[in-house]
Structure 1
Amino acid sequence: MIDYPSKLDTIFDKLKSHGIRPIIVGGYIRDYLVDIESKDIDIELYGISSFTELQNILKEFGSVNVVGESFGVCKLYFEEYDLDFSFPRSDNKVKSGHRGFEITIDTTLDFKTATSRRDFTMNSVGYDVVEKKILDPFGGLDDFKNKTLKAVNLESFGEDPLRVLRAVQFATRFELKIENDLFSLCKDMVTNGLLDELAKERIFEEIKKLLLYAKKPSRGFELLREFGSDLYTQNISVIDEIAKERTANKQTNIVLMLAALCYDFSQKEAQDFIEKLTDEREILNRSLLLIEKHNEIDNIYEKGLNDYRLYKLAAEVNIEELLILSSSIYFSKSGSKIYKAGEEVKKRAKELNILNKKLPALLAGKDILEFGLKPSPIFSEILNSAYEAQMRGEFKSHKDALNWLKNYLKS
């Protein structure tokens, strides 16, 4: 048995009343087997005639989004679940690249034939909600239990270069050994330059899953190196330390991981590496900033903890993120589990309430206006001087800040 949310039975009962056989497939089954809760559920439908019929059936449960009739997928957000309803289909390679397939929807296919197009045996397992039984035509359950990643079909696997990256991230996330023939095929595909056919966005999507969900993401980069890919740095042990301190924010975790991979690079080298993966400017800029500042925690501690230096640092970078990076570098290099500099800086930053934000400015442009000055470029100079004075502790209240401003303007 595979437990699925009972809330879905209202939809399944409606489908069954129309002679349609729903089968839960893909990631939900895989995640269930390793006790990972998932809100994303893929459902393949058998015995259905058309998209129009499916839309008419599902419309009472919410807004139906047809992703593309050529892909045979309808999306429905129901309760708190993202449901993907798909039709059985076959793929035919017609040109290079991940998208170079001619997709044919065929509602007459049986489950085994339809599933033969999937990448790995672990992803070819289904659960028939009508007969309440697991469908496993390619032995995926045994392979998964034996911690082995095996292709459903090596020939079709070799037609899609994205599957190499999927092999890397699945093997790393679920701690699987890649079966020998599949390993050799992945290596040949990389050696023959098939990854060059992929858009960097597609590559990054798989790398992100590796960075976000693997317990030891370094293993994924080791696999990439063994396959012959240049997506590798000598700093992979640092990302394993980062993985132990992942935040609740996925974007932040990606930034930290990329900064860790390149922390000892020059800014140009780091930018070149990150731009192999993504054109997202926020990720690039935040990563480069952390790389630039990665020694600041140690520098501040060695010079003696000083509030002004901490305020300055908080104005430039998120101190908590920098602490995660710096401590991960320290732990990976020293083997120690105690990072005295980080502990002291974190303690004082918390006391100053600047761990995740900069010191709020006590003076603003409207305060300058009250002294009779008209808006001009000099405002920013005045406010910068005021903020410096505030960080140095020359005033700590708005009243005192106004007195400081009065004296400053006189001078």
Structure 2
Amino acid sequence: MDMYRIFNEGQINVLKDIKRACKEKKIKAYIIGGAVRDSILNVKSKDIDVCVEGDPLIIIKELKSLKDYVYYEKFQTSTIYFNNGVSVDLIRCRKETYLKDGMLPIVEPSSIKDDIYRRDFTVNALAYDIVDERIIDFYGGIDDINNKVIKSIHKNSYSEDCTRIFRAIKYSIRYGFEIEDDFVFNSLIGNNIFNTISFERYIKELYLICGEDKWIQMLKKCCMYGIIDLDCDMLGDSIQFSEQNINFLNMVYCSRDKILNRALVENSFLKKELLNPIRKFIVGRKELEHKLLNSKRNYDIYKVFNGMTKYELVLFSWNKELKYKVYNYTKNILNFKTVISGKEIKNLIERDGKIVGLIKEGILKRNVNMLMNFDYSTKNMGEILYDIEHKYR
């Protein structure tokens, strides 16, 4: 099998450079995990992970096409950036020991055999020796790929790290495989296995799912197993995007799950541009939807939506009763909110103080409600002034 058939020319050149450096330093190196799986399936792989039986820094210093790198001394892992734009994760082979289910493992340098054992599934427990040019398969991963089966490497795999349940679902939908050992899911989920991990890891896996082409099917399967509770009929409804953040927001809108909602509000994994709109929506959803449903005029809609970010607006777009109001606000109302400056108002009415602010609000209200930008003169400014003075008399 031609291991390199899924890689482009730039990636192949980078791997040749790594191979040369490893041979010179007599260090064993392996392409590991997903890239080997994808090569067997003959599908393009997003990432290249290379495992070495030694300190990655020794190899990095010998690379001829190196541009830059980031090195993490604690785990002896690195991300390498090459002159041709390719990046590779170069990591030291390691052994992982779980002292408690859900806890991050204790890590120590080891061999390729131990590194393969720490992988999640047999189909990912494959390595390609880039020096000797051979595939290493200790756990029947090639047979499981050919038989279209997802299977954990050992019986405690899902309990040690329950995020593997998410990944089993992801791979099964992505590749059309069956999960052979999903019979353990019910008892683990029933015993609240996801309480053993942080909200950050929990939300990260759901976010990664929302970046997949078949994200809707994956989320529905999560619901089928009882991991999360969503209104699945609304997944992908009304708005069709391929953006990961939008897909994730769609999941947020569909959530009927108190634990998921808490994790969405309290996690620190999501970036603020996404996290803040989600927090506002989950906490204030009922009140805001009530206000919007009772907003009959354009200016009422404007007052509720004004200042909301793109993602806040998107969250309300899946509500069929509010969808038109979001569209009206973004496509119409925002084009007719121009107001003249306070200085110009002062010159027209020869007045100062609070009344100027009230006039500006009155102009904005008229423009937005009528979807017209008026050319204000002394005469029609006087009409607005009369209305305001009459109102506060």
Q: TM-score range by the shorter chain?
A: 0.7 to 0.9
1:22 and 1:45 in contact (8 A); partners too = yes
Q: Which amino acid aligns with 1:50?
A: D
User: In the alignment, which residue of structure 1 is the partner of 2:270?
Assistant: none
Q: Distance in 2 between matches of 1:212 and 1:291?
A: 28
Runs of 5+ consecutive residues of structure 2 not aligned to the other structure: 267-274
2:330 paired with 1:354? yes
> Which is worse superposed, 133-142 or 204-213?
133-142
Q: Distance in 2 between matches of 1:404 and 1:35?
A: 72
Q: 1:194 to 1:201 in 2, by over 3 A?
A: same
2:193 paired with 1:188? no
Shift of 1:370: 5.5
- TM-score, normalised to structure 2, is 0.74
Count matched residues.
Answer: 365
Q: Which amino acid aligns with 1:217?
A: M
Shift of 1:191: 3.4
Q: State the Cα deviation string for residues 246-304 of structure 1 (Å, max 9, x = none).
A: 42432232112210234xxxxxxx7764123442332232466777777999999xx9x
User: In the alignment, which residue of structure 2 is the partner of 1:252?
Assistant: 246
2:318 paired with 1:325? yes
Q: Distance in 2 between matches of 1:222 and 1:257?
A: 11
Q: 1:61 to 1:163 in 2, by over 3 A?
A: same
Q: Which amino acid aligns with 1:198?
A: I
Q: Distance in 2 between matches of 1:142 and 1:32?
A: 14
Q: 1:255 to 1:285 in 2, by over 3 A?
A: farther
Q: 1:407 to 1:249 in 2, by over 3 A?
A: farther
Shift of 1:43: 1.7
Q: State the Cα deviation string for residues 161-180 of structure 1 (Å, max 9, x = none).
A: 3323333433344443221x
Q: Which amino acid aligns with 2:318?
A: L
2:123 and 2:142 in contact (8 A); partners too = yes
2:17 paired with 1:14? yes
Q: Which amino acid aligns with 2:89?
A: D
Written as runs of structure 1 = structure 2, the 5 A alignment for 1:11-410 is: 11-18=14-21, 19=23, 20-30=27-37, 37-46=44-53, 49-58=54-63, 61-67=66-72, 69-78=73-82, 79-99=84-104, 101-106=105-110, 109=111, 111-179=112-180, 182-213=181-212, 214-225=215-226, 229=227, 231-233=228-230, 235-239=231-235, 241-242=236-237, 245-262=239-256, 273-279=260-266, 280-286=275-281, 315=306, 321=314, 325-326=318-319, 345=324, 349=327, 354-355=330-331, 358-359=334-335, 361-363=337-339, 365-366=341-342, 371=347, 381-393=358-370, 395-397=372-374, 399-400=375-376, 405=381, 407-409=383-385
For the residue of structure 1 that corresponds to 2:229, the secondary structure is: coil
Runs of 5+ consecutive residues of structure 1 not aligned to the other structure: 263-269, 331-340
Shift of 1:89: 0.8
Shift of 1:127: 3.6
Q: 1:117 to 1:248 in 2, by over 3 A?
A: same
Q: Which amino acid aligns with 1:276?
A: A
The alignment yields a C-alpha RMSD, in angstroms, of: 4.2
Identity %: 19
2:302 and 2:333 in contact (8 A); partners too = no
- TM-score, normalised to structure 1, is 0.71
Q: Which amino acid aligns with 2:62?
A: I
1:89 and 1:103 in contact (8 A); partners too = yes
